[in-house]
Amino acid sequence: MLVSSSSSSSSSKGGGSNNYDYSFKILLVGDSGVGKSSLLVTFISNFVHHLSPTIGVDFKIKMVTIGGKRLKLTIWDTAGQERFGTLTSSYYRGAHGIILVYDVTRRETFTSLSEIWAKEVELYSTNPECIKILVGNKVDRDGERAVTREEGMALAQYRKCSFLECSAKTRANVHQCFKDLILKILEVPSLLEKGSTAVKKQILQQKPVHKAPENNGCCSQ
């Protein structure tokens, strides 16, 4: 498997190892109840919990290794029913990758992804080359499907992004979704530069400040 998990952390600040080559910010966006948090938990821990809706904004950190490069992924999740106002721009700022999620059994989540979320991404994303992937979740409930695979593919083509259908419940394609996103980020030089800049800043912050020895005398003869 190309992506190998090395460690993970909860949403507490300061989690994760300091030993990595690149640091990437990834967002999950979409309506409440489409399974964003379940996708995240499945990717982070390989175990699906029954989750209550996310309140406000949460993030988790996961370390992965791809092609010999160790990556720190900070993955942000937000409650889809909230409109955060001034928080919205800061949520999108600096994102290297964005996963747009809808529920294949609820057409309204697909419609709002096209009419609201995709436009919000265009408005607030500060990285012009940010990688986006469209994800149709809950394919394990195929008998209740309200959005066809072809419709999802058509929207992804229109938005010029990748497309996958997955299931957080069965874990089908969940890791593939994050893997595809990360591999595409690694192909974009400007995103790599921004990812390495974050690492350099952290290294500089960790370096002790060496003060010049104080000269207690008035003269130095």
The pLDDT tens digits of the residues spanning 146-180 come to 999 999 999 999 999 999 999 999 999 999 999 99
Report how many domains make up the chain.
1
Whether residue 12 has pLDDT greater than 90:
no
| 8 A C-beta contact, residue 102 and residue 166 | no
Residue 214 counted as domain residue = no
Residue 217 counted as domain residue = no
Residue 220 counted as domain residue = no
Place of tokens 């982070």: 44
How far is C-alpha 156 from the geometric centre of its chain's CA atoms?
18
Residue 23 counted as domain residue = yes
The pLDDT tens digits of the residues spanning 199-216 come to 666 555 555 544 445 555
- Measured CA to CA, the distance from residue 212 to residue 52 in angstroms comes to 55
Residue 215 counted as domain residue = no
Residue 52 counted as domain residue = yes
The pLDDT tens digits of the residues spanning 59-118 come to 899 999 988 889 999 999 876 544 545 557 788 899 999 999 999 999 999 999 999 899
Residue 144 counted as domain residue = yes
List, in order, residues 6 or more apart from 88 with CB less than 8 Å away: 120, 124
Q: What is the CATH number of the domain that holds 119?
A: 3.40.50.300
Q: How far is CA 37 from CA 66, 151, 174, in A?
A: 24, 24, 12
Beta-ladder partners of 8: 62
| pLDDT band (50, 70, 90) for residue 45 | confident
Place of tokens 């721009």: 89
* pTM metric for this prediction: 0.79
Place of tokens 């058509």: 154
Residue 212 counted as domain residue = no
Q: Which domain holds residue 135?
A: 4-206
- Measured CA to CA, the distance from residue 197 to residue 178 in angstroms comes to 22
